[in-house]
Amino acid sequence: MKRLSLGACILAVLLVAFNVYADTPLAAVQANVNKVLDVLRDPAMKAETAKEVKKEKLRAIYEKMFDEIELAKRTLARNWNALDVAQRREFVQLFRQVLEKAYIDKILSYTNEKVVFDKETVLADNQAEVQTRIITASKEIPIFYRVIQKDGTWKVYDVIVEGVSLVQNYRTQFSEILAKNSPKELLEILRKKVNES
């Protein structure tokens, strides 16, 4: 009986070790990007009437792919500490909606361009960068995903498109707003932006 339970323990450790090893930053990004591509390529969702269903599926992938809190913290940088817990929670939700409004149409306009997954580079013990390219008929667009590992899962906290960091871009905008406004006013500005048609 002891031999059986020892064998089961060793097997469990090996399986956990294998899963952690198998889930490299590149593999995690590739799996999530491929899920996005599957939704965009799905012939059943080509009709305009399927747009909302497609958006819902993409939102579900986003939740699994991105570390929203890490993304929000890095975007606000030192200003994150100026927000109380409720404001932080609301900022994370509003920021997600701002990003969706800014990028969803670009994502939905995908027309079967090729995505190449080049390499991963370790940035720190729990951080890495995954380099990819979108190849269109006329050019290549480099897209780098910065990922962080938490609880054994790699999640995106920044996206760099053609050398422009999503985090840095929004950090500049939010810093300018917070230089003249309170966190409460920042949230009000974001609420208005989200509700614009």
Whole-structure pTM value: 0.84
Angle of the 183-195 helix axis to the 166-180 helix axis, nearest 10: 120
- Note the pLDDT of residue 22: 44
* Structural domain containing residue 75: 2-195
pLDDT digits (tens, 9 = 90+) for 8-58: 334 333 333 333 344 899 999 999 999 999 999 999 888 888 899 999 999
Tokens representing 45 are: 């969702």
59 CB-near residues (< 8 Å, 6+ apart): 100
Residue 144 CA: distances (Å) to CA of 6, 21, 101, 115, 159: 43, 21, 21, 12, 6
What's the total number of domains in the chain? 1
| C-alpha–C-alpha distance, residues 24 and 32, integer Å | 12
pLDDT, greater one: 67 or 46: 67
Q: How confident is the model at residue 197, as a pLDDT?
A: 60
Does residue 7 register a pLDDT over 80? no
Residue 192 sits at the vertex; the CA angle it makes with 188 and 193, to the nearest 5 degrees, is 115
- Give 141-195 as a 3 state SS string: EEEEEEEEEECCEEEEEEEEECCEEHHHHHHHHHHHHHHHCCHHHHHHHHHHHHH
- Given this model, what pLDDT does residue 109 score? 86
Q: What is the pLDDT of residue 112?
A: 82
- Do residues 119 and 129 make contact, with C-beta atoms less than 8 angstroms apart? no
- CATH code, domain carrying 8: 3.10.450.710
